[in-house]
Amino acid sequence: MSQRLLLSLTLWASCSPGNAGTAALSQPRVRCLASRYPVAVDCSWTPLGAPNSTMATSFIATYRLGVAAQQQSRPCLQPNPQATRCIIPHVHLFSMVPHMLNVMAVHPSRGLLAFVAEQIIKPDLSTPALPAHGLGRHTAGQSLQVPWHPPASWLFSDMFSLKYRIWYHGASHFNQMGPIEATTFILRATQPHAKYLVQVSAQDLMDYGKPSDWSLPGQVERMPQNP
């Protein structure tokens, strides 16, 4: 290489997420020759294959004049992203500042998942299905009817029904009921001014998938009825 042209080579190697431990094994070995001086500089590299990888590796090659990272980088011309050679077409002649060549190896990453839609059903009750504070509907005697809303994301409840489990906690006891298909539940033998925390969980009527997480608790209270 002509002494009038100083090429300083650096390497940046990048691996896809999950392959960070193989970065050291994946760094290409780079060399450049000014065989066509002063027209261009030809660079090439010999990649070290990533362990257990059967997918093609792509490379991004850039160069700049100067060591500082803020200097503008230009592409080192490759015939295709998988090529292990590139051409620097514009060489700064007689420069005392070195050229910096960066070759980044990019190993493709792929995630595969096989699933049956019915097996991954899980209704979403993350939005409040019950009011944070509210009054239940009085029924005959000492009963209190507690309503809730189906999941907002379950758009076709008429065709694909859900069933619900109910958890409630009163002053001295708690209980879990269900499953039921209705979106109301009757608390019996309640006392005036009695307050209850209620949560519901939804699941596909045919038991596909998993039940939803429990909804945020809603509070209901039985008020005295007018005589």
pLDDT digits (tens, 9 = 90+) for 39-77: 889 999 887 655 555 567 888 999 988 877 777 889 999
| pLDDT average, residue stretch 158-163 | 91
Across the chain, what does the average pLDDT equal?
76
Q: Which long-range contacts (CB under 8 A, 24 or more apart) does 52-56 make?
A: 53/107, 55/107, 55/108, 55/110, 56/82, 56/108
Query: Where exactly does CATH 2.60.40.10 map onto the chain?
Result: 122-221
How much of the chain exceeds pLDDT 90, in percent? 22
How would residue 23 be classed by pLDDT, with cut points 50, 70 and 90? very low
Residue range 194-204: mean pLDDT, rounded:
88
Topology at the third CATH level for domain 7-106 = Immunoglobulin-like (2.60.40)
Pick from 69-73, 156-160, 198-202, 203-207: least confident: 69-73
- C-alpha pair distances (Å), 7 with each of 44, 111, 178, 179, 198: 13, 40, 76, 74, 73
Q: What is the pLDDT of residue 25?
A: 41
For residues 23 and 101, which has the higher predicted lDDT (pLDDT)? 101
Most confident of 52-56, 103-107, 142-146: 103-107
Q: In this predicted model, which residue has the larger pLDDT, 154 or 14?
A: 154
Which band of pLDDT confidence, cut at 50, 70 and 90, is reported for residue 201?
very high
Q: Which of 23-27, 81-85, 178-182, 218-222 has the lowest mean pLDDT?
A: 23-27
pLDDT bin (cut points 50, 70, 90) of residue 226 is: low
**pLDDT of 162:** 94
Structure confidence at residue 204 (pLDDT): 94
- Residue pair 162/212 in contact by the 8 Å Cβ criterion: no
pLDDT at 132: 55
Determine if the peptide bond prior to 179 is cis (ω within 30°): yes
**pLDDT at residue 111, rounded to an integer:** 66
Residue range 170-182: average pLDDT? 83
**Mean pLDDT (whole number) for 153-164:** 90
Quick one: residue 196, left, alpha or beta (phi over 0 = left, psi -120 to 50 = alpha)? beta
pLDDT for res 11: 38
Residue 108: cis peptide before it, omega within 30 degrees of 0? no
Separation CA 130–CA 212 (nearest Å): 15
pLDDT at res. 27: 58
Q: What is the CATH number of domain 122-221?
A: 2.60.40.10
In angstroms, the CA 38 to CA 34 distance is 7
